[in-house]
A and B are shown apart, each in its own frame.
Chain A
């Protein structure tokens, strides 16, 4: 279980998230909605350990019994947390396949490998694994050799984030607006990716503004974040209510 307890988050002395708590089990899908500026992306960055966001001493994040509150981002990733970025960052000169192989090997290499199986994959083995999953998401093969997010379209970036998530098999994934800027075909791919993640055992926190992705998915819980506070939680019906009424009625 991923337990988020009494999260207070501030940046440059401005408090963005106020006393946010949430629990999520493996394979569950939680949808987090809320108006612009309510702190949804801040929550994603905070959970992943972004150094700009400061927590107060009450805040606690526990992943399957491990307190990760003070770990750095790469340690959190290795333990099994994943953040799909709303705006994936371009890294010119670094190829997708090389980057993901390094990430994969960092995560899956064994500390005390037996001689036969170190847990790491060589370039060819990894390429096969990556290609198989890319095909599953309809990502053309030539993308794997391109520079990371460099001159990718919005939809291409979002698909690539899903590919990274599936390859790294996180225990818990935070997907920050994976549907923004995507066409209908890409949207279906993203939905498929979410299902694959759940099937792999990942608990998913899906941050979104729109209902359109949710048509393809079955959320277990829906939460509304407003002005940094979790104002309400519910089931699928809550989504319909938001779609009709907006966020005004929630306080």
Chain B
């Protein structure tokens, strides 16, 4: 037998800056802190009430017993709000050099230089950097941080905020609703195409800091937009919590693609609620890549409301040592002739665990709907684990359903064969993993595809560069 000898993963992006935080609310979870946050942000009264109501839901809801182990989170030890700079800046040069360095390490400036329409980079709780191309303004596109959107577009904001994912939806959506800060707000006017992808980077950078960003995208009738987020976080010894909420409204004939490359460090609980409402002939596409974190629970959902609405989820999860990726997709077919596809690929190594948890529900009025679910798992060693928990509820007889699942293992004979040609075990494994992940990676824009390949290489070899 070949002895699996994984070099412990050194987290390349695991550096932390010694930032003098201008604004920091004390640790813990209380009404006082919620009021403090809301007052600091100078929010309207309805938002304070919304937050307080959500706090109540959070406190009353039990911790979910399914999915991953959530029992070790200490909510009282978390700082609920941090604000590293007091005002927004418009160019990289204006940023404090330490923050700039951090971004350079994760490649944001390059991302901007190259091809991206806008960078909305989040450093801890508030958006401190934003550069948005002039064209977006001309098109009437709104792309801003969610806090600013509440101030600048109060009516539009109130019309949609919390309508796709209400605070009582689940415990962590409630937590986010009570303490949310930052995130992106996007509105695409009717018939508008945004050709370049909009991008944002999120990053947790303070010990025990909870990051509760809140993203809301409204794609009005006939519009098209692609949004990308990439996440990376430094390593800390105690657990961090990331509980985001992403709400997307896809109106008639509109198309939204939301791509995530998530690379939290191994101490982060990543508990995210992502949901879209898709109206007639609209298309929602989630591309969700989860590398890293201690536990991720995330099931991007499409509520296919209108006739002919389409939903798609492509997901890639990599679980290494002490990691559990409990991810999947939910497709709720409400309207007639709706269709959905969920393709999931997972890679388990070094004792890591992947769970695919998915739901396809075809409701009574969803005549002649179609759904396809495909789960492929790759397991690299005997200590790692992969399982699937698909749930299918079909209330019609004219539904076309497909479900497919495969599990493959990297064999000692494959490794020996590749090593005998001069590849190291790590190179050989990275090559197999890259080949397995390729169908998902090739759907990413080139820059993200390159980053993804680099992250996989990093994960597999534990080396830098």
- A residues near B, CB below 8 A? 48-52, 72-74, 76-78, 82-83, 85, 88-95, 98-100, 102-103, 106-107, 147, 164, 168
- The answer to whether B418 touches A99, judged by C-beta atoms less than 8 angstroms apart, is yes
Q: Does any Cβ of A come within 8 Å of B2's Cβ?
A: yes
Q: Besides A76-B420, A89-B414, 8 other CB < 8 A contacts?
A: A51-B1, A51-B3, A77-B420, A93-B438, A95-B435, A99-B431, A102-B423, A102-B427
Give the contacting residue for A89; candidates B1, B417, B425; CB below 8 A: B417
A198 to chain B, nearest CB (A): 20
Q: Does any Cβ of A come within 8 Å of B416's Cβ?
A: yes
Q: Does any Cβ of A come within 8 Å of B148's Cβ?
A: no
- The answer to whether A168 touches B421, judged by C-beta atoms less than 8 angstroms apart, is yes
Distance of A102 Cα from B435 Cα, bound (Å): 14
What are the residues of chain A within 8 A of B423 when measuring CB–CB? 74, 99, 102-103, 106
- The answer to whether A77 touches B419, judged by C-beta atoms less than 8 angstroms apart, is yes
- The answer to whether A103 touches B414, judged by C-beta atoms less than 8 angstroms apart, is no
- The answer to whether A78 touches B420, judged by C-beta atoms less than 8 angstroms apart, is no
Give B422's nearest chain A residue, CB to CB. Answer: A77
Give B435's nearest chain A residue, CB to CB. Answer: A93
What are the residues of chain A within 8 A of B436 when measuring CB–CB? 92-93
Give the contacting residue for B408; candidates A52, A78, A92, A98; CB below 8 A: A92
Interface residues of B in 388-431 (CB under 8 A from A): 408, 411, 413-414, 416-425, 427, 431
- B residues near A, CB below 8 A? 1-3, 408, 411, 413-414, 416-425, 427, 431-432, 434-436, 438
A66 to chain B, nearest CB (A): 15
Distance of A103 Cα from B2 Cα, bound (Å): 20
**The 3 A-B residue pairs with the shortest CB-CB distance in the complex, in nearest-first order:** A93-B435, A77-B422, A89-B417
Give A89's nearest chain B residue, CB to CB. Answer: B417
What are the residues of chain B within 8 A of A82 when measuring CB–CB? 420
Distance of A168 Cα from B420 Cα, bound (Å): 11
What are the residues of chain B within 8 A of A92 when measuring CB–CB? 408, 435-436
- The answer to whether B435 touches A48, judged by C-beta atoms less than 8 angstroms apart, is no
A79 to chain B, nearest CB (A): 10
What are the residues of chain B within 8 A of A106 when measuring CB–CB? 422-424, 427
Distance of A72 Cα from B93 Cα, bound (Å): 50
Distance of A52 Cα from B416 Cα, bound (Å): 10
Distance of A91 Cα from B420 Cα, bound (Å): 14
Distance of A77 Cα from B418 Cα, bound (Å): 10
B432 to chain A, nearest CB (A): 6
Q: Could you name 25 residue pairs across A and B whose Cβ atoms are closer than 8 Å?
A: A48-B420, A72-B419, A73-B416, A73-B420, A74-B419, A74-B422, A76-B420, A77-B419, A83-B420, A89-B411, A89-B413, A89-B417, A91-B414, A91-B417, A91-B432, A91-B435, A92-B435, A92-B436, A94-B431, A94-B432, A94-B435, A102-B423, A102-B427, A106-B424, A107-B422
What are the residues of chain B within 8 A of A48 when measuring CB–CB? 420
Distance of A90 Cα from B3 Cα, bound (Å): 21
A153 to chain B, nearest CB (A): 18
- The answer to whether A78 touches B435, judged by C-beta atoms less than 8 angstroms apart, is no
B223 to chain A, nearest CB (A): 37
A165 to chain B, nearest CB (A): 10
What are the residues of chain B within 8 A of A72 when measuring CB–CB? 419
B446 to chain A, nearest CB (A): 15
Give A51's nearest chain B residue, CB to CB. Answer: B2
- The answer to whether B422 touches A85, judged by C-beta atoms less than 8 angstroms apart, is no
Distance of A13 Cα from B420 Cα, bound (Å): 24
B346 to chain A, nearest CB (A): 14
Distance of A92 Cα from B424 Cα, bound (Å): 18
Interface centre among B416, B425, B432, by most chain A C-beta atoms within 10 angstroms, is B416
What are the residues of chain A within 8 A of B408 when measuring CB–CB? 92
Interface centre among B414, B420, B431, by most chain A C-beta atoms within 10 angstroms, is B420
What are the residues of chain A within 8 A of B421 when measuring CB–CB? 77, 99-100, 103, 164, 168
Distance of A88 Cα from B421 Cα, bound (Å): 12
Give the contacting residue for B417; candidates A52, A88, A98; CB below 8 A: A88
What are the residues of chain B within 8 A of A88 when measuring CB–CB? 417
What are the residues of chain A within 8 A of B425 when measuring CB–CB? 74
Interface centre among B417, B425, B434, by most chain A C-beta atoms within 10 angstroms, is B417
Decide yes or no: A93 and B419 within 8 Å by CB, A51-B1, A74-B424 being known contacts.
no
A113 to chain B, nearest CB (A): 16
Give the contacting residue for B422; candidates A50, A78, A90, A95; CB below 8 A: A78
